Structure 1
Amino acid sequence: MLQACLNGSRAAEEHPALPLSPERLAEDAADVAALGVTSVHIHPRDVIGAPTLAGPEIATTIATVRAAVPGIEISISTNVPGNRATLIASWAPLAAGRPDIASVHVAEPGWRELAQALHRVNVGVELVVEVPEELGELPAGTTRITVTATQDNAETLLRQVEPLGLPVLLHGRDGDAWPVFTYAATLEHQVRMGLEDTLRMPDGRRARNNAELIAMARRNQRSRAPS
């Protein structure tokens, strides 16, 4: 699987092509889906551009993106301030405005309760591992482990999560984004790329947009596919 991480928690001034509104996220999602992406990961924003989990904003964002890319998995981040479990509970009646899966950082206090809140509203759980953690029994509804790694610790983190038997998405950020992507593609793990992870192409120049990053990622991925 190749996932596109379209915006993250980056501020608008970091890149002129950063998609923040539902409409812009939908446009970028359509562009990367045309390049073979089967999942998009987004950080929905409120009207002033702050990350949010509030039901109305989630419903609008997800429904807008889903209309542009029907059939594509839509993943969102839960890494925002506030009473996240209560906000997630408000998603229960959203239907088409509910994400397919949401990420939960296992290093955060209360991550198990957050995963339970997602499961109760029928949203899949994507556990994010950034440092060695003893996960124990995985929460109900866990469908994927996302490993956020550096070049130095990727192998260590994979040794921890691979025995759990779930699909693993391995990615890096900023200077580690492309080296970790290449490593993950070589191992045939799920991968992701986009403006959340890096603003730059492998040669160091600034990427024009998410589509340019994904096009390069697809070429990289195909070059490492077994013959």
Structure 2
Amino acid sequence: MLQACLNGSRTAEEHLALPLTPERLAEDAADVAALGVTSVHLHPRDVIGAPTLVGPEVATTIATVRAAVPGIEISVSTNVPGNRATLIASWGPLAAGRPDVASVHVAEPGWRDLAQALHQVNVGVELVVEVPDVLTELPKGTTRITVTATPDNAETLLRQVEPLGLPILLHGRNSDAWPVFTYAATLEHHVRMGLEDTLHMPDGRKAKNNAELIAMARRNQKSKAPS
């Protein structure tokens, strides 16, 4: 699987092409879907551009993106301030505005309660692992494990999570994004790329947009596939 991480918690000042509104996220989702992406990960924003889990704002974003790419998995982040479990509990009636999957950062305070809240509203749980020795059992509804790694600790983290038997998405951030992507593609793990993870192409120049990053990621992924 190639996932596009479209915006993250970045601000508009960091990149002119960063998609923040539902309409811009839908446009970028359509562009990367045309390049072979089967999952998009995004951070819904409120009217002032701050990350949000508030039901109506999440629903507007998800429904707008889903209308543009009806066959693609939509994943959202839960890494925002506030009573996240209570906000997620309000997602039950959202229907087309409910995400397919939501990420939960293992080892954060209350992460198990957050995973349970997602399971109760029929949203898949994507566990995010960034440090070793923090995950020994899987909450109900866990669909995959996302490993956020550096080139130095990727092997250690993979040794921890691979025995759990779930699909693994391996990625890095900023200067680690492309080296970890190449390593993950070599191992045939799920991969992701987008403006959340890096603003730059492998040669160091600033990417034009998510589509340019994904096009390069697709070429990289194909070059590492077994012949």
* 2:178 aligned residue: 178
1:139 equivalent in structure 2: 139
Residue of structure 2 in register with 1:166 after alignment: 166
Q: Are the aligned partners of 2:52 and 2:58 in contact in 1 as well (CA < 8 Å)?
A: yes
Q: CA deviation at 1:21?
A: 0.1
- Structure 2 unmatched ranges of 5 or more: none
- TM-score normalised by structure 2 residue count: 0.99
User: CA shift at 1:158, angstroms?
Assistant: 0.3
Q: Secondary structure at the match of 2:13?
A: helix
**1:46 matched residue in structure 2:** 46
Alignment check: 8 A CA contact 2:116 2:140 kept: yes
Secondary structure of the equivalent of 1:93? Answer: helix
After TM superposition, the structure 1 = structure 2 runs for residues 1-227 of structure 1, keeping only pairs within 5 Å, are 1-227=1-227
Measured after TM superposition, the shift of residue 216 of structure 1 is 0.1
Please tell me the root mean square deviation across aligned C-alpha atoms, in Å: 0.5
Runs (4 or more) in structure 1 with deviation over 4 Å come to none
What secondary structure is seen at the aligned counterpart in 2 of 1:87? helix
Secondary structure of residue in 2 paired with 1:52: coil
Whether contact under 8 Å (2:107, 2:134) holds in the other structure is no
Mapped partners of 2:2, 2:137: distance in 1: 27
Paired letter, 1:81:
P
Query: 1:156 aligns to what SS in structure 2?
Result: helix
Secondary structure, counterpart of 2:76 in structure 1: strand
The SS at the match of 2:81 is coil
Distance 1:20 1:193 in 2: 17
| Counterpart code for 2:104 | V
- Aligned letter for 1:5? C
- Looking at structure 2, the residues matched to 201 and 88 of structure 1 have their Cα atoms a distance apart, in angstroms, of 35
How many residue pairs were aligned? Answer: 227
Identify the range of structure 1 (129-138 vs 47-56) with the bigger mean alpha-carbon deviation: 129-138
Structure 1 residue 135 displacement after superposition: 1.6
C-alpha displacement at 1:133, in angstroms?
A: 2.7
- TM-score, normalising length: structure 1: 0.99
Query: What SS class does the counterpart of residue 93 from structure 2 fall into?
Result: coil
Q: Which amino acid aligns with 2:116?
A: Q
Name stretches of at least 5 consecutive residues in structure 1 with no aligned partner. Answer: none
Q: What is the Cα deviation at residue 107 of structure 1?
A: 1.9
Q: Secondary structure at the match of 1:61?
A: helix
8 Å CA contact 2:106–2:134 kept in 1: the answer is no
SS of the equivalent of 1:47 reads coil
* Matching residue's letter, 1:194: G
SS at match of 1:94: helix
